[in-house]
Chain A
Amino acid sequence: MSVASALVQPAERRALGFTLAFLAAWFALYASLTPIADGLVGLLSLERGSHFAESVHFFIFDTPKVLLLLTLIVFLMGVIQTFFSPERTRALLAGKREGVGNAMAASLGIVTPFCSCSAVPLFMGFLMAGVPMGVTFSFLISAPMVNEVALGLLFAMFGWKVAALYVGLGLTVAIFAGWVIGRLRLEHWLEDWVRDMVQADGVDAPEIPEGRSWAARLAAGRHHVRDIVGKVWPYILAGIAIGAGIHGYVPQDFLASIMGRDAWWAVPLAVLIGVPMYSNAAGVIPVVEALLAKGAALGTVLAFMMSVIALSLPEFIILRKVLKLKLIAVFAAVVSSGILLVGYVFNWIL
């Protein structure tokens, strides 16, 4: 159904009207952020330049800005995801060769709706449909790492260049790590019952989701905002509050010597600390911003963030049901090496 003919339906017109109103309100709010923050700080009659005033201004200005940008990006992602589904992605990837398959899987990982508790059924479903194991890993690495919350927050706090760089590097790590795992031919390190099931038979004809109306797609975007933003906003507030504290009180360049570009061991250390940590992007990024502001190198900080989001202890425990310990170790090692490399390259070129 084309957009024009869709507008004949009253439900479609209402959905579109709602979305336009939402976007108009969004831009109006976004444009008035600076005057509101300045005004509020003025009302509190704080003297600009003092530690406390700087912290308060940072908090008042950053919080609505971040939440607004996040809302917009999560909404767009919610709409985009209606064009994809795990079943459709699987059908696209089945029988794809390594290389092209890894690149496709990593890209589809960004736009396919995916809940972390589905990781294992999804892993099995892909293998059973004949998606190569390395390609499946590319999907499994990129899906959590390059997510809309990370993207939205990076965009809000550092601008589109850093956000785009993050996407590029996340994809690179996912493609590279999946390709390496595929080349190593480690299928014998899948748990036995998994191998039996994969070999037993293929999969039923893949279901392609039925076409949806634009009203349903826009509604999906709204639901997505309610689900995601509704869940992560406390983390963001806490993160920004911590960031604001560091912003006002920790001296400039305090971290340059320990997390700066010249400290060669900073990247491995960041990854080592990041891997076992389990947090969502929302909790980590505001801290990341504060670290950066105080002289930590961007590559080091992004490596830290990637290792926190992409690898975690709870994830290993879930994957243990389908992978033997050796394969989990290889998975963790390959992904960490990729992140390490990215961190160094980043620090080196910037």
Chain B
Amino acid sequence: MKNVKVLGTGCANCRNTLKLIEEVAAARGVAIELEKVEDLPSIMKYRVMSTPGVVIDGQVVHAGGVPDRTKVESWL
């Protein structure tokens, strides 16, 4: 099972990203472990400068803005 983390301090874009990933995972029937990381020091450990960032199995795959749906689909 993939571990997906959404990094962000809680702005609208971060919530939308979380929702989009949930939707895509549900639509494709992929089981994922979705986490939200809001704590700043933890976000900075991933060296992400623009939020929301997305981390899959410890790997930063996206930073800054809500990702495209096709991009999310390619991750899952």
Binding site for B on A (CB under 8 A): 85-87, 90, 113-118, 120-122, 124-126, 128, 193, 197, 203-204, 318, 321-322
Contact = CB atoms under 8 A, between A and B. Distances in A.
Contact of A197 (B8, B41, B49, B64): B41
A121 B7 CA distance: 10
A120 B49 contact: no
Given A117-B8, A121-B48, A204-B47, 12 more contacts: A85-B64, A86-B49, A86-B64, A113-B65, A115-B51, A117-B51, A121-B44, A121-B49, A121-B51, A125-B47, A197-B41, A322-B40
Given A85-B64, A86-B50, A86-B64, A121 B43 contact: yes
A329 B45 CA distance: 28
Contacts of B13: 115, 117
A65 to B, nearest CB: 29
Given A115-B11, A120-B9, A321 B64 contact: no
Contacts of B11: 115-117
Nearest to B44: A124
Majority secondary structure of chain A interface residues (helix, strand, loop or mixed) = helix
Contacts of A318: 9
A113 B41 contact: no
B14 to A, nearest CB: 7
Majority secondary structure of chain B interface residues (helix, strand, loop or mixed) = loop
Given A85-B64, A117-B8, A122 B44 contact: no
B50 A120 contact: no
B50 A121 contact: yes
Contacts of A114: 50
A317 B25 CA distance: 35
Interface string B2-14: 0000001111011
Contact of A122 (B10, B14, B49): B49
A314 B50 CA distance: 19
B65 A115 contact: yes
Nearest to B48: A121
Interface string B31-70: 0000000001101100111110000000000001100000
A203 B41 CA distance: 15
A86 B47 CA distance: 12
Given A115-B65, A118-B64, A87 B44 contact: no
7 contacts: A90-B49, A113-B50, A115-B64, A121-B40, A121-B44, A121-B50, A128-B47
A247 to B, nearest CB: 34
A113 B49 CA distance: 12
A122 B50 contact: yes
Contacts of B50: 85-86, 113-115, 118, 121-122
Nearest to A124: B44
A141 B9 CA distance: 20
A113 B47 CA distance: 18
Contacts of A125: 44, 47-49
Nearest to A112: B50
A118 B41 contact: no
A121 B40 CA distance: 8
Contacts of B48: 121, 125
A322 B40 CA distance: 9
A203 B14 CA distance: 24
Nearest to B7: A121
A125 B9 CA distance: 15
A203 B47 CA distance: 8
A304 B43 CA distance: 35
A3 B8 CA distance: 37
Nearest to A223: B65
Nearest to B11: A117
Contacts of A118: 49-51, 64
